[in-house]
Chains A and B, each alone.
Chain A
Amino acid sequence: MKHRADLAFRVLAMATLVVALVTLGALIIDVMADGAHRLSWQFLTSLASRRPEDAGIYHALAGSIWVIVLTGLLALPLGVASAIYLEEYGTASRLARFIEINISNLAAVPSIIYGLLGLGLFVRTMNMGRSVLAGACTLALLALPVVILSTREALRTVPKSIREASYALGATKWQTIWYQVLPMAFPGILTGLILSLSRAIGETAPLITIGALTYIPFAPDSVWSPFTVLPIQIFNWVSRPQAAFKENAAAGILVLMGLLLAMNAAAVFLRDRFQRQGRS
Chain B
Amino acid sequence: MNSASPPLTSLSRVASRTAAAPPDTPVKIEADRLNFYYGPKRALDGISIRIRTNLVTAFIGPSGCGKSTFLRTLNRMNDIIPATRVEGTVLLDGKDVYDPHVDVVALRRRVGMVFQKSNPFPKSIFENVAYGLRINGMARTRAELNDRVEESLRQAAIFEEVKDRLNDSALALSGGQQQRLCIARALAIRPEVLLMDEPASALDPIATQRIEELIYDLKKTYTIVIVTHNMQQAARVSDHTAFFWLGRLVEYDRTDRIFTAPAEKLTEDYVTGRCG
Residue numbers of A with Cβ under 8 A of B are: 91-92, 159, 161-172, 175, 179-180, 184, 278-280
Partner of B121, one of A91, A92, A165, A175: A165
Residues of A within 8 A of B117 (CB): 161
Distance (whole angstroms) from the CB of A40 to the closest CB of chain B:
47
Q: Distance (Å) between the CB of A162 and the closest chain B CB?
A: 6
**A161 with B119, Cβ < 8 A, contacts A92-B82, A167-B77 known:** yes
B208 contacts the other chain (Cβ, under 8 Å)?
A: no
- Which residues of chain A are near B172, meaning CB under 8 Å? 280
B186 at the interface (CB under 8 A from A): yes
**Contact across chains for B80 and A163 when beta carbons are under 8 A apart:** yes
Would you call B254 an interface residue if the criterion is a C-beta within 8 Å of the partner chain's C-beta atoms? no
Contact of A169 among B80, B82, B106, B135 (CB under 8 A): B135
Query: Could you give, for residues 66-109 of chain B, a 1 whenever the CB lies within 8 Å of some chain A CB and a 0 otherwise?
Result: 00000000010100101000000000000000000000011011
Inter-subunit contact A165/B182 (CB<8 Å): yes
CA A91 – CA B169 in complex, angstroms?
Answer: 33
Chain A to chain B contacts (Cβ below 8 Å), 29 pairs: A161-B119, A162-B122, A163-B80, A164-B119, A165-B121, A165-B182, A167-B77, A168-B75, A168-B108, A168-B112, A168-B186, A169-B109, A169-B112, A169-B135, A169-B136, A170-B105, A170-B108, A170-B136, A170-B189, A171-B131, A171-B132, A179-B131, A179-B135, A278-B122, A278-B169, A279-B122, A279-B171, A280-B169, A280-B172
Cβ of B169 and Cβ of A279 under 8 Å apart? Answer: yes
Q: Does B163 contact A (CB under 8 A)?
A: no
Q: Is B47 an interface residue (CB 8 A)?
A: no
Bound-state Cα–Cα, A184 to B120, Å: 13
A260–B186 Cα distance when bound, in Å, is: 47
Nearest first, the 8 A-B pairs at minimum CB distance are A170-B109, A278-B122, A169-B132, A161-B119, A168-B113, A165-B119, A170-B108, A175-B135
Interface centre among A163, A169, A278, A280 (most CB of B within 10 A): A169
CA distance A45 to B120 in the complex (A): 51
* Cβ of B81 to closest chain A Cβ, rounded Å: 9
Nearest Cβ on chain B to A173's Cβ, whole angstroms: 9
**Interface residue tally for chain B (C-beta within 8 Å):** 28
Interface of A is mostly: helix
A279 proximity list for chain B (CB < 8 A): 122, 169, 171
**Cβ contact of A164, chosen from B77, B131, B135, B169, cutoff 8 A:** B77
A125 to B121, CA, bound (A): 48
Task: Decide if A171 touches B77 in the complex (CB within 8 Å).
Answer: no
In the assembled complex, the Cα of A184 lies from the Cα of B182 at a distance in Å of 18
Contacts of A280 on B, CB cut-off 8 Å?
Answer: 169, 172
B-chain residues with CB within 8 Å of residue A162 when the two chains form the complex: 119, 121-122
Interface positions of B from 161 to 185, Cβ below 8 Å from A:
169, 171-172, 182, 185
Q: Closest residue of chain B to A180, judged by CB?
A: B121
Contacting pair A164 B105 (CB below 8 A): no
**Complex CA distance for A166 and B127, rounded to whole angstroms:** 12
Distance between A85 CB and nearest chain B CB, rounded to angstroms: 16
Asked if B123 lies at the interface with its beta carbon under 8 angstroms from chain A, I say: yes
Q: Is the C-beta of B37 less than 8 angstroms from some C-beta in chain A?
A: no
What residues of A have a CB within 8 angstroms of the CB of B106 in the complex?
170
With A and B bound together, what is the CA distance between A166 and B186 in angstroms?
10
CB distance from B69 to the nearest CB of A (A): 14
B177 to chain A, nearest CB (A): 16
Interchain CB contact under 8 A, A172 and B115? no
**Closest Cβ–Cβ distance, residue A273 to chain B (whole Å):** 14
Given contacts A92-B82, A179-B131, A179-B135, contact A168 B77 (CB under 8 A): yes
Contact indicator B115/A165 (Cβ below 8 Å): yes
Residues of B within 8 A of A170 (CB): 105-106, 108-109, 132, 135-136, 189
Give the distance to chain B from A169, nearest Cβ to Cβ, in Å: 4
Whole-angstrom distance from the CB of A46 to the nearest CB of chain B?
48
Which residues of A sit under 8 angstroms from B113, Cβ to Cβ?
164, 168
Q: Write the chain A residue with the least CB distance to B110.
A: A170
B111 closest partner in A (C-beta): A168
Within 8 Å CB of B171, what residues of A? 278-279
* Beyond A167-B80, A169-B132, A279-B171, 16 extra complex contacts between A and B, CB < 8 Å: A91-B82, A92-B82, A162-B122, A164-B77, A164-B119, A167-B108, A168-B112, A169-B135, A170-B105, A170-B108, A170-B132, A170-B189, A171-B105, A171-B132, A172-B135, A280-B172
Docked Cα-Cα span, A178 to B123, in Å, equals 14
Q: Kindly provide the distance from the CB of B218 to the nearest chain A CB, expressed in whole angstroms.
A: 16
